[in-house]
Structure formats: C-alpha cells, structure tokens
Amino acid sequence: MAIIYPDVSRTFSEYLLLPNLTTKDCFPTNVNLTVPVVKYSKGTKTPMKLNIPIVSAIMQSVSNDTLAIALAKCGGLSFIYGSQPIENQAEMVKKVKKHKSGFVVSDSNVSVDHTLKDVVEIKERTGHSTIAVTENGTANGKLLGIVTGRDYRLTRDSLDKKVADFMTPFSKLIVGQLGITLSEANDLIWEYKLNSLPIIDKDQNLHYLVFRKDYDDHKQNPDQLMDPQKRLMVGAGINTRDYSERVPSLIDAEVDILCVDSSDGYTEYQRDTIEYIKTNFPGVKVGGGNVVDREGFLYLVESGADFVKVGIGGGSICITREQKGIGRGQASAVIEVAKARDEYCEKTGVYIPICSDGGIVHDYHIVLALAMGADFVMMGRYFARFDESPNKKVKRGNSYVKEYWGEGSNRARNWQRYDLGENSALKFEEGVDSYVPYAGKLKDNLDVTLSKIRSTMSSCGAKSIKQLQETARITLVSSTSLIEGGAHDVILKENEY
C-alpha cells in the first residue's frame, strides 16, 4: 500500500511568527542578512555567501543580465535563465561580469540615417532620453554624436528629419577615454556641466555612458555582491540534457555558480548532471533541485549538490499540482528538508544550504521561510514586476502591468525543465502566461522588503538568520484569525491622499 503521510501539506500563509524578546542591540539596522549559498564543513567559512537572502528565478521573464546587475548591486544573486541558446546565455553572464558600476552600456542607439520618429520610438520603449549615434547604430560602434531631448522639438520638427541633421555631433562632445576611473569621469561631468559622458576607445568606438545621476552608485549600494576581483556575481541555470556543452561555455564566461533547473530534481538525470560537473570541473559550485522531502534532498546531496532548491507546485504561474497531482505545500516542504539538512550536518559535519523556491506572496513569507530553515529564497513573480526584468510593460485599463510567464508554459518552450527522459515536445503545460502589476525600480521595492525583513527579525529577537532559525517561534493560524490579521470592521478611506 502507498505511504500516506499523516501531516497536512501546509503553506506559508497558514503560519505566523511570535515575537521574542527584542534586546536593545537588536534594532533593524543591526540585523545581519548574510547567508551561505554553498556547502561547507562546520567550523569553517562558507566559500560563497549572499549579502541578502534572496535570489531571482531561473526564468525567461525574470533573470536576464539587466536584472542580474540590479540585484547583485543590492546584495542578491540572479540565475540567468537557461532556456535560451548557450551562446546567448553565456553572453548575458559576460555582460554581468563586465559591468562596471557607473559605466553603462548604451541600450538606446541609432545611426545618422535614422529619423526623429525612430528616436521617439526608442525613447518610449526604453524610457531613456540619451541616445547614442554610432556609425552602425550599435552600442559599440564608432561614436558620431549624441541625441538628447534638447536636440529636437516635437512640436516643430518633422518626424522624418534625419538624425544627422539634429544630433549633437562628435566634434561638440566632451568624451572620456576608455580606462578612465569613475571618479575622473565624474570630475568631467561636473566641470563641463554634462548629463552624460560617453567613454570611447582610441578608435572612437563607444564603450559606455557615464550618467550624472549614477554619481553615487557605489555609495548607494554598500551591500553589492562581488567576487574577489570586485566584479558583480552571477549564477546560471542549466538543464539535464545539453550540460556537457552549456557548462563549459558558462565557465568560460566566468559564471560564479550554476543551478540545475528542473521541476522535479529527484531523478537520475539530475545526478548525472551534477556528477559530470563535479568530475570535470571540481571547483565549480552547482545547486540541485527541486525536491520537497528528505529522500530527494539526500539523493541530491549524495550526488554532490552544493545547495538544494526546495519547492514543487507553489510558484505563482505554476499549474503542476493541477496537471500532475505532484507537489507539496511550500512550508511543509521547507520544514522537512531543513530537518533532514540539520540531521545530515549533525552526522557528517557538512552544512548544505537550502533555497525555498516559489510561492512567496507577502514579504513576511520570506522571514517565515528563513525561520523554517531555508537559507535563502528564490522569487519569480516578485522580480517580474520591476523595470529591470526582461518582459514587456503594457497598459491595461488605467494601470501598467508586466508580462510574466512560466517556464512550463507553451510560450517558454522549456521542455528540458519538465523532461523525464523521453523526447522533446511539451505534451501539456505546467505553467501559465500572465500579467503582474508593474512596480517600478528593483532597488526601491527591495529596500522596502528588506526593511520589513529586518524589522520582523528584530521583533523575533534575531540579529542574524542563523539566530532566527534557532530561536524563532512559529504558530499555525486558523482561517478566522487570518481575517483578524488585515484591516477589519472599519470603513477604509480610499484615495484620500
């Protein structure tokens, strides 16, 4: 007979944290959010950590190079999606590794033959008003001029006017030479009262733009997640099919960490993939997943995984539970895997970090996941809402939304993630194509989320995530007490301010 678990499968919304004594030194800004990402032996230091316990999902609609740069600047890590050609994924990894704070690769470019109409379209699409004019219209072509809002008047100028006729030409531009430091670039910006400074090489090819507004970039991001060479860190998702080609390319691109991306990680395919990496590239760190119980966890650990990702069926765009009847409430999954991890550590002296993946709806769910034993959380929906995610922003009714689609939807065509060893086509969908409310800049939103996490931890009397895991007290809630948790029995004043 099948094994029937006596415990109900539960999710985060069914729990609340009880406050512990808050000592005077446990104020929110004194809360340390660093966490280990990869396994280490007790009593030694983890070889890799995050400055905040948050990573972004391995999804087409979430983790590209732009989002990875924004998140690493805030102390977290992105895993660039693997459901794209190997060279494109490696290129995204390289862009993050090459990113220099304050030096921006221009994303709005035209050639002299483009028209004012093209300029207006680019401005609408990217939201950027500084447009580089290069010989071939690309971000690294020979710089011929710059167009900003000061170069044209939409009320007077014809939309057919050629860029050559209204740009500020190269001869009138102040530029910096490649190799200049950020502080030298800023000196030029201040001296000549510029809004932006193009950085060119000796052949006049454009490399970067430095903007006046990015002056304080580093000061604003004290938690940046950097490798020993002071470059931003980035991860990448891989699948269990083309790893012998994909992994070497990602390593060449200097990726910091890999993660096998699979909806069900308790498979021999996953073991083969991890073993291949550990045999051929022993120094490379790789996470495995997803699992929801102790058996799956131990299997991946014994295969060599450096961290284990937990969660099946809890993602906001996920319909795996409806389609296949597979999964487990996210809280129950994290609690069981964390217990297995702690027992494994007790027995072997090796600590394996775990990541709670999917199903975070409220910011406090992050603290619950951590208190239940996760070392960090992976989120998709949360990040899809921001300017930096790769998906389109569209207007629906009176508000803006962004597109967000699952890796198991027909749109993503990521059959490898759902592969159980047969052939290529997705026979049925495990994810939906949807919209999420547009929310603006990643940093603005993440700052609020992190303030809430620190404040909750402070109420729980925990100055670190380890302390939270050891001392948190968690209670189940009834459905009636959930109503008590929101505003109730009052008439809300809407749109008053």
Examine residue 59 and tell whether it contacts ligand IMP (CB under 6 A): yes
Nearest-CB residue for ligand IMP: 431
Question: Which position among 328, 417, 454, 460 bears the catalytic label?
Answer: 417
Compare residues 102 and 390 and give the one whose CB is closer to ligand IMP: 390
Question: Which position among 26, 318, 355, 460 bears the catalytic label?
Answer: 318
Examine residue 262 and tell whether it contacts ligand IMP (CB under 6 A): no
Examine residue 296 and tell whether it contacts ligand IMP (CB under 6 A): no
Phi, psi of 334 (to 5 degrees): -65, -45
Least Cβ distance, residue 413 to ligand IMP (angstroms):
11
d(CA 196, CA 150): 13
Interface residue with ligand IMP among 257, 317, 352, 450 (CB under 6 A) is 317
Interface residue with ligand IMP among 132, 431, 449, 462 (CB under 6 A) is 431
User: How many other CB atoms sit within 10 Å of the CB of residue 435?
Assistant: 17
**Active-site residue flag, 355:** no
| Window 382-411: contact mask with ligand IMP (x via CB under 6 A) | x-----------------------xxxx--
Interface residue with ligand IMP among 381, 385, 402, 463 (CB under 6 A) is 381
Interface residue with ligand IMP among 76, 287, 288, 315 (CB under 6 A) is 315
Examine residue 57 and tell whether it contacts ligand IMP (CB under 6 A): yes
**Active-site residue flag, 328:** no
User: How many other CB atoms sit within 10 Å of the CB of residue 143?
Assistant: 24
Compare residues 154 and 448 and give the one whose CB is closer to ligand IMP: 448
Interface residue with ligand IMP among 176, 198, 265, 358 (CB under 6 A) is 358
Binding window for ligand IMP (CB under 6 A); candidates: 144-152, 247-255, 315-323, 365-373: 315-323
d(CA 35, CA 51): 7
Interface residue with ligand IMP among 359, 364, 368, 386 (CB under 6 A) is 359
For the annotated catalytic residues, the residue numbers are 318, 417
Tell me which residues touch ligand IMP (CB under 6 A): 57, 59, 263, 311, 315-318, 320, 357-360, 378-382, 406-409, 430-431
